[in-house]
């Protein structure tokens, strides 16, 4: 929609460029067909509280730094892949690991929740896998 509603003045509005983001859809073959893993957004979230959503978020400097630390991420869109790995750890407490998903150590996950910059040292110490097979 490009029209401005009647009576709305946008003369002082400055549009910001879109923020790079990444989202991951985790699926598996279930007994009754495909199953999709969603996360329930906290009621305290500013955007879409209480909604079910795919895991994901904004690409950060941590994700760009991960490309330098992990050769498997030295691919086109590597920082976006790092973002989905980090966000999946933070939001769901899991990590893709080849053809399956594993639970993340609770203390490592809480470190990442506290500060997303903590994801990279945990990944470098092998507490969180960085496996892009099947992504």
Q: Which tens digit of pLDDT belongs to each residue from 16-39?
A: 899 999 999 999 999 999 999 999
pLDDT of residue 122 exceeding 60, the answer is yes
* DSSP letter (8 states) at residue 131: -
> Does a structural domain hold residue 132?
no
Number of domains forming the structure of the chain:
1
Length of the chain: 135
Q: Residue 19 in 3-state DSSP?
A: coil
Spatial distance between the Cα atoms of 55 and 105, rounded to a whole number of angstroms: 18
Spatial distance between the Cα atoms of 65 and 70, rounded to a whole number of angstroms: 9
> Does a structural domain hold residue 135?
no
> Does a structural domain hold residue 84?
yes
> Does a structural domain hold residue 106?
yes
| CB contact set of 113 (below 8 Å; sequence gap of 6+) | 90
> Does a structural domain hold residue 11?
no
> Does a structural domain hold residue 114?
yes
Quote the pTM value: 0.85
């Amino acid at each position: 929609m490009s029209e401005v509603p009647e009576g709305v003045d946008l003369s002082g509005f400055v549009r910001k460029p879109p923020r790079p983001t990444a989202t991951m859809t985790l699926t598996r073959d279930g007994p009754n067909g495909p199953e999709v893993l969603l996360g329930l957004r906290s009621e305290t979230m500013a955007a879409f509280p209480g909604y079910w959503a795919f895991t994901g978020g904004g690409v950060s400097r941590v994700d760009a730094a991960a490309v330098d630390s992990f050769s498997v991420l030295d691919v086109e869109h590597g920082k976006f892949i790092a973002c989905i790995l980090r966000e999946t750890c933070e939001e769901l407490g899991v990590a893709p690991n080849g053809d399956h998903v594993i639970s993340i150590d609770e203390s490592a996950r809480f470190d990442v929740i506290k500060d997303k910059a903590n994801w990279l040292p945990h990944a470098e110490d092998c507490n969180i896998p960085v496996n892009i097979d099947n992504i």
